[in-house]
Amino acid sequence: MSELLLNVCDVTKTFSEVTALQNVDVAFHSGEVVGLVGGNGAGKTTLLRLLCGLYRPTTGKVQGTIGGDAVDIHTMRENVGVVPEATGLYARLTAWENIRYHSRLNGVDDEMAWTRTERFAKLLNFEQDLHRSTRGFSRGMRQKTALLRALSHGPKILLLDEPTGGLDVTSARMVRKLVRKLGDEGGTVIYSTHNLAEAEQVCDRIVIIHNGTIRANGTPKSLLENSNTNNLEEAYVALTEDEARIQPPDEEGKIAGAWRRLLTRRSS
């Protein structure tokens, strides 16, 4: 049986009068690609931020597992790679310098970081851009840099927030290919998306989140069987029939700053 890496136990997360997540129970194991599927404001990003320790639950527990022992999620930080929706790159640095800076903060020497970066850059067709300044990079190039940065310290778990949102077809396909390769090699990837077709292509398991609660958790095949539907779109509609809540305004500057602090903070 695969190793339990992250466990969310009866977690509720509130912001003032807004309940972003309510009584959420979900576990993540090694060697699986899991898609968090839901609309805007469903709670996907909040769950990702809880999984990497950026947020603390209002009630309940989020725990990691190392060597079979339950540990505080912050102890897992060095084992987690994060690609937020706002990539937070330093425009004065090249792509490689951004990656190297992050890997040094995580205690990884330059040679090892370069070896990992070069390997994954080839899969993303990005080798020629590693030594270019990130100022003026397209969204796709910034996303690729952020992916390489997150992988440079060899994390056991990769968290992705809308990794293909706004990307062109070719770039999105490369990202999906990389995610599937990581899964096939025994890596663990958890990412939020609203794209059901994408989730079906790359995920071993899909967690459907709607209005802050988990409506389904299983393989694409089991979701169809349990909802008695013929495709994932029908299953999603059947499981989320109640009207979506109004998405609370996101203080983007504060959130982007919080992601940046997470990505540039030395793991303890």
**pLDDT tens digits for 63-101?**
988 777 788 888 788 889 999 888 889 999 999 999 999
Mean pLDDT, range 152-161, rounded to an integer: 92
Task: Give this prediction's pTM.
Answer: 0.86
Q: How confident is the model at residue 268 (pLDDT cuts 50, 70, 90)?
A: very low
What share of the chain has pLDDT > 70, as a percent? 90
* pLDDT of res. 20: 94
Beta strands in the chain, from DSSP E residues, in sequence order: 4-15, 18-29, 33-37, 59-66, 69-72, 80-83, 157-161, 188-193, 205-210, 213-218
pLDDT at 205 over 80: yes
Q: Which residues of 105-114 are buried (b: 16+ CB within 10 A; e: fewer)?
A: ebebeeeebb
Residue 212 identity (one-letter amino acid)? G
Q: How confident is the model over 211-253, as pLDDT tens digits?
A: 999 999 999 999 998 888 888 888 999 888 876 666 555 544 5
Q: Per-residue pLDDT tens for 173-193?
A: 999 999 999 998 889 999 999
Per-residue pLDDT tens over the stretch 247-266: 555 544 555 566 555 655 55
Q: Could you tell me the domains of the chain? A: 4-263 (3.40.50.300)
pLDDT > 90: what percent of the chain?
56
CB atoms within 10 A of CB 102: 20
Mean per-residue pLDDT over the chain, rounded: 87
